Chain A
Amino acid sequence: MNLRRDVFQAIADPTRRAILLLVASQSLTAGAIAANFDTARPTVSKHLQILTECELLKQEQNGREIYYHLNPNKMKEIADFLEPFHKMWDERFNKLEAVMKKYKSTK
């Protein structure tokens, strides 16, 4: 299974992004998460399953309840993934700036 692709598919869905935002500040049960959405409970469960499978969410057993919380390491991995693209543009614009400064001084 291509985990990398799955993470990007996971965060492409607006409901799943909303879930990630919800649990960013506190651990919540599936019921508490579902209470924030108009969608049917099984749909929310499916979203939680996908987010857990690609490790964006972690489950924690607390007594009889399962709490979901954010996995910051996985979130960081997504940010790191974009870093080479960011770096490519930063270097390209540094070059532009250097070329134009040289051009300016020869005029």
Chain B
Amino acid sequence: MEQKTKVNAEPGKQVIDITREFDLPVELLFKAYTEPELVEQWMGTKVLKMDSKRHGSYQFETTADGHVVFQANGVIHELIPNQKIIRTFEMGNAPFGVQLEIYEFEKLSDDTSRLNMHTIYESAELRDQVLKMPFAQGLGMAHDRLQNVVGKLSSH
């Protein structure tokens, strides 16, 4: 299946641009970012706090087996319904610093919309770390699977 999401990360810059068209009215796309119970469903994390307004803040947390495996928080700088959100995002216990996220919500037709997401990092180096993370995780997961297989083989 063709990927509908476009990612642009120019070498040497501290920005990542992500664009995606949705088969959703812009109002629903915007809701997916501002209603805590909906954020929980698609992000797959618990929303401890989400005050969707200018100068409001939010807090995410995911636990597995009683351990916190993901934490993030930030402050909303600007929120224009169905048009724009500017917020900070910081992952807990991660060396990526604070990022500034600018979301532009665009109506394409009554039933379709586009999201433009610009993320600005503290430095080009930190941005590259973020870009590499899923690659590193993929390697780690492949490694874990291999360990499992090897573990099963050796226990026979």
Q: Say yes or no: is A17 at the interface (Cβ < 8 Å to chain B).
A: yes
- CB interface residues, A 1-50, toward B, < 8 Å: 8, 11-14, 17
B-chain residues with CB within 8 Å of residue A82 when the two chains form the complex: 7, 9, 131, 135
Of the four ranges (under 10, 10 to 19, 20 to 34, 35 or more), the interface on chain B belongs to 20 to 34
Q: Say yes or no: is B41 at the interface (Cβ < 8 Å to chain A).
A: yes
Q: Describe B's contact surface by its main secondary structure.
A: helix
A-chain residues with CB within 8 Å of residue B124 when the two chains form the complex: 12
Given the interface pairs A89-B18, A93-B22, the reply to whether A99 lies near B42 with Cβ below 8 Å is: yes
Q: Distance in Å from the Cβ of A15 to the closest Cβ of chain B?
A: 11
A90 to B4, CA, bound (A): 7
Q: Distance in Å from the Cβ of B128 to the closest Cβ of chain A?
A: 6
B-chain residues with CB within 8 Å of residue A14 when the two chains form the complex: 12
A87 to B24, CA, bound (A): 20
Given the interface pairs A84-B138, A97-B24, A103-B28, the reply to whether A89 lies near B5 with Cβ below 8 Å is: yes
Q: Describe A's contact surface by its main secondary structure.
A: helix
Interface string of A55-74 (1 = CB under 8 A from B): 00000000000000000000
B-chain residues with CB within 8 Å of residue A17 when the two chains form the complex: 11-12
- CB interface residues, B 11-27, toward A, < 8 Å: 11-12, 18, 20, 22-24
Q: Say yes or no: is B66 at the interface (Cβ < 8 Å to chain A).
A: no
A13 to B13, CA, bound (A): 10
A67 to B100, CA, bound (A): 44
29 A-B residue pairs with Cβ-Cβ distance under 8 Å, sorted by A, are: A8-B128, A11-B11, A11-B12, A12-B11, A12-B12, A13-B12, A17-B11, A81-B135, A82-B9, A84-B135, A85-B131, A85-B132, A85-B134, A86-B3, A89-B18, A89-B20, A90-B5, A92-B42, A93-B4, A93-B115, A95-B41, A96-B29, A96-B32, A99-B32, A99-B41, A99-B42, A100-B28, A101-B23, A104-B24
The chain B residues found within 8 Å of chain A, CB to CB, are 3-5, 7, 9, 11-12, 18, 20, 22-24, 28-29, 31-32, 38, 41-44, 115, 124, 128, 130-135, 137-138
Q: Which 6 A-B pairs have the closest CB atoms?
A: A84-B134, A90-B5, A96-B42, A12-B12, A11-B11, A90-B3
